[in-house]
Amino acid sequence: MKEIETSAKTVEEAIKLALEELGRSREEVEVDVLSEGSHGILGIGAEEAKVRVRLLEPTPSETDSEPQGPEPGQKRDIVSFTQSVLEAMLDKMGVTASVVFETGAIVQEAERTLPPIVFNIEGDDLGILIGRRGQTLACLQYVVRLIVAQEMKAPTPVIVIDVNGYKQRRYQTLQALAQRLAEQVATSGNPFTLEPMPAYERRIIHLSLADHPDVTSESIGVDEARKVVISPKGHDTSAIE
């Protein structure tokens, strides 16, 4: 069972952040309020609210009634349209590259029943499409998802855009990093704070450690400064900034 812990100024904000990282709706999770936080006196001694959010397991009836995703013909339409959108955007940007539909890719940014539709943009000197910490790539992917959703006007699989396998490599690197740091934290007994990461990268860390017997992970901070803290189980992280 997957679960993460998050903290924010209010309980509702902490729940919202957890839902964003899990890629789920409020109805798909169970929430434990670990601390409602406090304002302190004149800001002194203030504590953030803290929650643990756990994915609910679907019941057999829910699993049986889940939609099976697009029909083969519809999926081909989605793939074809998405590829044409990407190619048109690259052309407008003056970027020479090939858009390749990937099968069996490991990258998935939101946990869904349906596998994602993954495209890899291949070419030379494409760092401009990735940007600092992958921010440009995240924006490109967001725009493509919006265009496809507007055109199809129906639920579609998650669309993931990669550039020269950047996300594939990053995914594997973060999984290995999470396991290595977990062992370090379990051995030393001291929490470890990672550098700020985008939501989908934080989610990789959380899911990699969700079943670890000795450590837990949670996200702290706000906006682009949000980061993951890996702590020994039972460790009080309220003083971590």
Q: Categorize the per-residue pLDDT at 92 as very low, low, confident or very high, splitting at 50, 70 and 90.
A: very high
* Residue 152, both tokens: 């199809």
Q: Where in the chain is the domain with CATH 3.30.300.20?
A: 72-164
The model's pTM is 0.61
Look at residue 66 and tell me whether its pLDDT is greater than 50.
no
Most confident residue range from 95-104, 130-139, 182-191, 222-231 = 182-191
DSSP-derived letter for residue 214 is S
Cβ partners under 8 Å of residue 19, min gap 6 = 25, 26, 29, 53
Weakest mean pLDDT among 46-50, 78-82, 138-142: 46-50
Would the pLDDT of 15 be above 50?
A: yes
Q: Topology of 3-57+174-232 in CATH?
A: Ribosomal Protein S8; Chain: A, domain 1 (3.30.1370)
Confidence check: pLDDT of 110 > 80: no
pLDDT exceeds 50 at position 65: no
Long-range CB contacts for residues 172-176, cutoff 8 Å, separation at least 24: 172/106, 174/201, 174/204, 174/205, 174/208, 175/204, 175/208
* 132-to-8, 195, 199, 226, 234 alpha-carbon distances in Å: 26, 13, 15, 15, 35
Domain with CATH 3.30.1370.50 in the chain: 3-57+174-232
> What are the residues whose beta carbons fall under 8 Å from the beta carbon of 226, sequence distance 6 or more?
17, 196, 197, 199, 202, 219, 220
Q: What's the pLDDT score for residue 61?
A: 41
**Cα dihedral 167/163/138/18 (nearest 10):** -10
Span 148-161, mean pLDDT?
81
Class of domain 72-164: alpha beta
Euclidean distance between CA atoms 44 and 41, whole angstroms = 5
Q: Is 218 left (phi over 0), alpha (psi -120 to 50) or beta?
A: beta
Nearest to 21 by CA among 108, 107, 110: 110
Task: Compute the mean pLDDT over every residue in the chain, rounded to the nearest whole number.
Answer: 81
Quick one: tokens of 177? 């990093």
